[in-house]
Amino acid sequence: MTEFQRLSLHVPEPAVRPGGTPDFSNVSIAKAGAVARPPVDSAPEDIRDLAYSIIRVLNREGEAVGPWAGFLSDDELLTGLRHMMKLRTFDARMLMAQRQGKTSFYMQHLGEEAVSCAFRKALRNGDMNFPTYRQAGLLIADDYPMEEMMNQIFSNESDPLRGRQLPVMYSSREHGFFTISGNLSTQYVQAVGWAMASAIKNDTKIAAAWIGDGSTAESDFHSALVFASTYKAPVILNIVNNQWAISTFQGIARGGSGTFAARGLGFGIPALRVDGNDYLAVHAVSLWAAERARRNLGPTLIEYVTYRVGAHSTSDDPSAYRPKTESEAWPLGDPVLRLKKHLIAKGAWSESRHVQAEAEILDEVLDAQKRAEAHGTLHAGGKPSVRDIFDGVYADMPAHIRRQRQEAGY
Amino acid sequence: MARMTMIEAVRSAMDVSMERDDDVVVFGEDVGYFGGVFRCTQGLQAKYGKTRCFDAPISESGIVGTAIGMAAYGLKPCVEIQFADYMYPAYDQITQEAARIRYRSNGDFTCPIVLRMPTGGGIFGGQTHSQSPEALFTHVCGLKVVVPSNPYDAKGLLIASIEDPDPVIFLEPKRLYNGPFDGHHEKPVTPWSKHDLGEVPEGHFSIPIGKAEIRKPGSAVTVIAYGTMVHVALAAAEETGVDAEVIDLRSLLPLDLDTIVQSVNKTGRCVVVHEATLTSGFGAEVAALVQQHCFYHLEAPIVRVTGWDTPYPHAQEWDYFPGPARVGRALVDVMGA
Ligand SMILES: Cc1ncc(C[n+]2csc(CCOP(=O)(O)OP(=O)(O)O)c2C)c(N)n1
């Protein structure tokens, strides 16, 4: 009677589930050095292919190759390595602290260290990030004191945020780190607004927006693209594609589109994909986008292709939804090991210096932790005062809140 | 009958409903393969297939908007919003769309959807995992708002919500997921398996929306609470020895005014307790109704015990949470008034 078959709903599924064998052979990865580096003032339609390929600098041998190589000195690379190692050590210690009941919650970066650490080096003082919870590397790479980060994580008496925010939801205007919201994606469009303001005031500062692959499904992501595109805001629109949004694989948010970067194309925003585990590539691409923004050429969208090796947060058990060995099968390797290999290949680093650096960094982190813990942890020692609950809801405390503070005994 | 936690009861309600009615579909963030971050939907995808229980993109307005469309087609979507704190992106779809479709189309289209959302604090969730937004919904005509305080009610009310022809906001106090919580955070929670209301029928049953329940009869003062605060109120009554009648509202919209009025007319005193902030909170509505309907029986001013008018702090949450000490103080005060 009808020429059509009955309809059926398509629900995307990841290739493998626990018990299966991870297989990333379908992930097409350009050879290091193979992708062109167009001039920053290229028209978006001329560089469409950059939204579908993957820009890579470090090859398997640890050499830096191709047009995106050569933007960092050995010293800068060594600093970058140190930042990533610091972030990794910091994470390991804080994860342990959470397990020991010193805080309620923690989110680590394992496998994603290159993204935020390398990006920070493309920014200047005064630029502003609008981060989510997996960009602590922006602070580490800007030498924000680890002790302060820990004070925040422990919600202790020295917590700069007075015990108000969840752990890892840092805030530092001075270090270009906008206060983190628990509600996903809201910051994305705010970053565009900040960048528009900088342009309105004929300033020279630029903004960077951060979002995870899963969160690109939120309307705020799309609103941000509309505004950035319409006003050519000086903003870098970052998407960290770490393959997973809690238990949900990236295909649920991406749907039929080829890549997350390709989302920018419909808005006329130049879009690039980059190997997120390649410190050099991340830095080079960030620098390219930052230059575009600074030259008033408008927004750039960057998709960082990476893998979330750790759990989503301390409340998550990834073995319930993906094979345990999936991270080992991830074809882009480990960002720390790759940069280390590169530096060793260049003769700027050695195994023994690496071991020594690991020990130094651990000492540094432990020292910060000791100092932070002296100010208390979530359930022991110094705490922010109950008084602090009532401060700062408004600039001036209205009478009704003052009454409530008194009722609470403060 | 079986012993269930509130999580299991909620899951069982969806299971029973999906089994009885092919039109019931369940979706939301992480609810499919993984079974939800609180595991409320665990096993449903395996049992009913991935077109009846599936993962949604992280897009609350997308989730609610598509649920509305599905309902217009004739399905009965029971949707999970991962935390109530994350319904805000969907607020437009909930309040201007779902709530009004029946009215504005003169019944041509209806919106039988359920939006389940974990609410409330006490789990160190900080300001964006602890909110109690019920008043934002009770102000909207066209919605129903339900808050269970135990597994038995959770199952019966959720089944009623799924079968309801109108949109229902189903708020699940996450502090009660594993056992009743009496406000003593330093004491371990006794699991629901040690509690009468953890005894839940395995099959289909429902509890009418709009009926309150008297949890403890008393004659000196009426305590009106819902969700987690029912347990706190019971603890406060016990600790102070005040002969309080504790009413569990169960449904905020529609509200069981008769039970409230009868009780307050009997006791002559009224304390309203909720976790949400004081100002323009649901307690204001209850207090105004009590004042209007029980004025000549009141022997003391109506008192509200609530969260403070601040965002929910992470470190000091036990000073924010209205515990038995604060509720007890209010009980003693109204008795002395
Ligand atoms: C508006 C909103 N909806 C849901 C959540 C709950 N939630 C927190 S993190 C997360 C997953 C985010 O995944 P993705 O964007 O891919 O970032 P990733 O964690 O992988 O870095 C979800 C659903 C939230 N915080 N805010």
- Tens-digit pLDDT profile for residues A370-390: 999 999 999 999 999 999 999
* pLDDT above 90: percentage of residues in chain A: 97
Atom in ligand 1 nearest the alpha carbon of residue A211 = 15
A388 to chain B, any CB pair closer than 8 A? The answer is yes
Exposed, middle or buried, A238 (CB in 10 Å: 0-12/13-18/19+)? buried
- Give, for ligand 1, the residue of A109, A246, A250, A322 to mutate: max count of ligand atoms closer than 8 Å to Cβ: A246
pLDDT digits (tens, 9 = 90+) for A26-50: 888 999 999 999 999 999 999 999 9
Share of chain B residues as helix, strand and coil, in percent rounded to the nearest 5: 40, 20, 40
* pLDDT above 70: percentage of residues in chain A: 100
User: Residue A84: its pLDDT value, please?
Assistant: 98
The alpha carbon of residue A400 and the mean position of all alpha carbons in its chain are separated, in whole angstroms, by: 40
Tell me what the mean pLDDT of segment A136-160 comes to: 98
User: Residue A256: its pLDDT value, please?
Assistant: 82
Please tell me the distance from the alpha carbon of residue B68 to that of residue A220, in angstroms, as a whole number. 20
pLDDT band at residue A261 under the 50/70/90 scheme = very high
How would DSSP label each residue in A154-169?
A: HT-TT-TTTT-SPTT-
How would DSSP label each residue in A110-135?
A: TT-HHHHHHHHTT--TT-EEE--TT-
B316 to chain A, any CB pair closer than 8 A? The answer is yes
Atom in ligand 1 nearest the alpha carbon of residue A244 = 20
pTM confidence score: 0.95
Contacts of B124 in chain A (CB under 8 A): 104-105, 378
**Closest residue to atom 19 of ligand 1, CA basis:** A245
User: Residue A372: its pLDDT value, please?
Assistant: 98
**Closest residue to atom 3 of ligand 1, CA basis:** B86
pLDDT digits (tens, 9 = 90+) for B244-272: 999 999 999 999 999 999 999 999 999 99
SS3 A227: helix
- The CA A246 to ligand 1 mean position distance, Å, reads 7
- The CA A185 to ligand 1 mean position distance, Å, reads 9
Exposed, middle or buried, A317 (CB in 10 Å: 0-12/13-18/19+)? exposed
- Give which of B58, B85, B124, B327 to mutate to test A binding, by max A Cβ within 10 Å: B58
Residue B317 tokens, joined: 């949450």
Active site residue B129: yes
> Closest Cα of chain A to B110: distance in Å?
23
A104 to chain B, any CB pair closer than 8 A? The answer is yes
Cβ within 8 Å of B, A 24-83: none
Q: Which residue of B has its CA nearest to A157?
A: B315
User: Residue A1: its pLDDT value, please?
Assistant: 60
Please tell me the distance from the alpha carbon of residue A12 to that of residue A255, in angstroms, as a whole number. 8
> Closest Cα of chain B to A220: distance in Å?
9
Prediction ipTM score? 0.92
pLDDT digits (tens, 9 = 90+) for A57-100: 999 999 999 999 999 999 999 999 999 999 999 999 999 999 99
Query: Is B314 close to A164, i.e. CB distance below 8 A?
Result: yes
CB B122 within 8 A of CB B228: yes
Are β-strands B144-146 and B251-253 bridged in parallel, bridged antiparallel, or unpaired? antiparallel
> Closest Cα of chain A to B51: distance in Å?
6
Print pLDDT tens along chain B (337 aa): 999 999 999 999 999 999 999 999 999 999 999 999 999 999 999 999 999 999 999 999 999 999 999 999 999 999 999 999 999 999 999 999 999 999 999 999 999 999 999 999 999 999 999 999 999 999 999 999 999 999 999 999 999 999 999 999 999 999 999 999 999 999 988 999 999 999 999 999 999 999 999 999 999 999 999 999 999 999 999 999 999 999 999 999 999 999 999 999 999 999 999 999 999 999 999 999 999 999 999 999 999 999 999 999 999 999 999 999 999 999 999 999 7
Q: Which residue of B has its CA nearest to A393?
A: B310
